[in-house]
Amino acid sequence: MGAPAHGSDQRTHRPERSRGALVAGSVGNFIEWYEFGVYGYFATVIAARFFTPEGGSEVEALVRTYASFALAFFFRPVGAALFGRLGDRVGRRPVLILVIVLMTAATTLIGVLPTYATVGALAPWLLTLLRVVQGLSAGGEFGGAVSVMTEFAPPGRRGLYGSWQSFTVALGLLGGAGAAAVLATLLTEAQLNSWGWRLPFLLTLPMGLGALWLRLRLDETPSFRAHQAARAAHSGQPGQSGEVHGAEQESAPPPARTVAKAIVLGAGRVMGWSAAGYTFLVVLPSYLQSSLNATFQQALVATVLANLGFAVTIVPAGLLSDLIGRRPVMLTGALLVTVLAVPLLDLLQDTGTSTALKGAVVFGAGAVVGLMAGPGPAMLSEMFPTSVRYTGLGLAYALSNAVFSGCAGLIITETIKRTGSVDIPAYYAAATCAVSVFALLTLRDSRR
């Protein structure tokens, strides 16, 4: 018989191993989203330094910056497939070590890149190349980190443990916003534009070394070890391949068509989380500056408030999903964004809205996204058996992020430019969450 994917975790669970896996899995997510946050927050500065030749407009440079941003996301599915395949064959631990090295190296190098004024047209190409490496490594990060967290989770706590992946996303974005805010306060605008923007990228190096040390100490997950033993025991014998959901007794991978369907469905279930999360948490600063004439400091304060709201609800939402199920918690978040996105943006645009109310609006927008992000990792993990979990959940998440997160800044900026409508971010978030509502209605309870 094949070994249970999560049941093996429960029989061999030790609290200290679970906590160690939680920290080792989380730290890579923090670094990944810290960098993506920093890139988003400094989008206007990076546009001026790398994408503005003589005669180019600021809007055109910002669009090119977001195009580079989107390109990195489109390499995430490639990384998810490549590293996911490795992770499902050789183990979660060695692949997670490899991706943290790649991610740290690429992000640190951005901090020392020559600008357009120094090397001309080579500058944007070098930046884009490093963004591609980041996209590949980030694609391999999510599937491995969530696999480790949920496969080491104690019985009945996969939602809680998986939510820490999303929580460290919030911490990473907050860390990036905090670094940007401190620099904007301590440095003059000229210093920030000249060399200050490099410092947050260089800070990734010590963080990455710390993450590498933690992952070198990480054990392989009980689920993967049990799966390897079952695969060896069943070599030469026909394996069982049941439905992907809850397929915890399989020793051979399920049919490719079944996995592909689950990947598409999983991407649909998290597309609202991806789109609304990036719209409210990352694209917001540049949107406030370019469309609502906010200052850089005001935009950063709004972003910090949105990310605080996001962080506050993630872990409670994951824990709640362990008690009442993933579907009701995630559905609530998707429905709220669908209904409230436009009214909330109208309040931000209204000059008569008080500063306190505007702060509450951006905080609430982030909090609603947290309802989807908290249970999301465990929900994806439970859709796939051990033999394809790293690949399956990583691809579902990466595809959703490539299309609906990576393109968010580009789509919103270009559409506002062409239509003149400042309501585009709200329409984008509401539409994607509406699709997720229908996908989530097919979700069944897999907590047990």
pLDDT at 314: 96
Q: Are 375 and 321 in contact (CB under 8 A)?
A: yes
46-72 pLDDT, tens digit per residue, is 877 887 665 455 666 666 666 666 677
Copy the structure tokens of residue 343: 């009214």
pLDDT at 163: 94
Nearest one of 140, 67, 66 to 103, comparing CA atoms = 140
Residue 382's Cβ-count burial label (10 Å; 0-12, 13-18, 19+) is: buried
pTM reported for the whole predicted model: 0.82
CA angle 9, 12, 13 (to 5 degrees): 70
Q: Are 197 and 58 in contact (CB under 8 A)?
A: no
Count CB-CB contacts under 10 A for residue 134: 27
pLDDT at 259: 92
Q: Are 68 and 131 in contact (CB under 8 A)?
A: yes
List, for the chain, all residue ranges whose pLDDT scores fall below the cut of 50.
1-12, 55, 237-249
CATH assignment of 7-220+254-440, among 1.10.630.10, 1.10.3720.10, 1.20.1250.20, 3.90.79.10: 1.20.1250.20
Count CB-CB contacts under 10 A for residue 265: 17
Element of type H or E holding 204: helix 204-216
pLDDT at 17: 73
Q: Are 107 and 117 in contact (CB under 8 A)?
A: no
255-281 pLDDT, tens digit per residue, is 889 999 999 999 999 999 999 988 888
Determine the Cα–Cα distance for residues 242 and 23; give it in Å rounded to an integer: 33
Q: At what angle do helices 76-90 and 58-74 cross, to 10 degrees?
A: 20
Count CB-CB contacts under 10 A for residue 213: 11
110-157 pLDDT, tens digit per residue, is 999 998 888 887 888 888 889 889 889 989 999 999 999 999 988 889
pLDDT at 198: 92
Copy the structure tokens of residue 348: 């931000």
pLDDT at 240: 39
pLDDT at 295: 74
Nearest one of 288, 405, 248, 272 to 330, comparing CA atoms = 272
